[in-house]
Amino acid sequence: MPDGNRRFAKKYNVSYFQAYRQGYEKLREALRWVIEEGVRRAVVYVLSYENCTRRSPMEKAVLEDLLISGLRDLRSDSIINGERIRVRLVGDLSLVSEAARREGAALEEHTASYDGGSLHLGVCYSGEWERNIIASGTASPSLAARVPPIDLVIRTGGMKRLSGFFPLQTSYAELYFTETLWPEFTREELKKALEWFELQKRNFGA
């Protein structure tokens, strides 16, 4: 859960665009670290449902541009292709532009045959949104997209809550919270989280 971009902007007196751009570059870097650390499945909260419905028009425009370029970049990413990582999007994609939907569909199609791991991107997603869909009698979007059970949640930015992050998959997840703002996240912080996870005694409700 890459949180803290706006607080990073205020901390360093830079624009939201600059902060989100740095956050985007950090995400690409972090995905590489995760794979190099031997993790083959990852789920990223790219945009929450609230990001897509409640942010200002200016912020939404910035996020939309980064989403389009990010999806396009992933399609040609050497790690995604070299490690054969399948990418899927989960969320209310009606809230993003046609251009973003096209890039998302192209990315999913491009990686559809990959079997080296999985990367699920929550785009305009929230647990409440998914619960409403299930309540209407429709199948769970995250289960249909085969989002795996989540073992470890890493949330940056200091907030100690899940904020609707894939509730069906986080029932027995270990929760790691760090004060580090997302654009400042380091590989050392990732290793610290993974080492902490290895020390946890997991009983899955037993």
Please list the active-site residues.
3, 51
Tell me if 3 sits within 8 A of 179, measured CB to CB. Answer: no
Q: Helices 57-75 and 16-36 meet at what angle, rounded to 10?
A: 30
Tokens standing for 170?
């986080």
Parallel, antiparallel, or unpaired for β 85-90 and 174-177? Answer: unpaired
CA–CA dist 171, 205 (Å, integer): 9
49 touches 91 (CB < 8 A):
yes
Cβ proximity of 10 and 183 under 8 Å:
no
CA 15 to each of CA 22, 45, 68, 134: distance values in angstroms, whole numbers, following the listed order: 11, 22, 20, 39
Sheet containing strand 85-90, edge to edge, reads 41-48, 117-125, 85-90
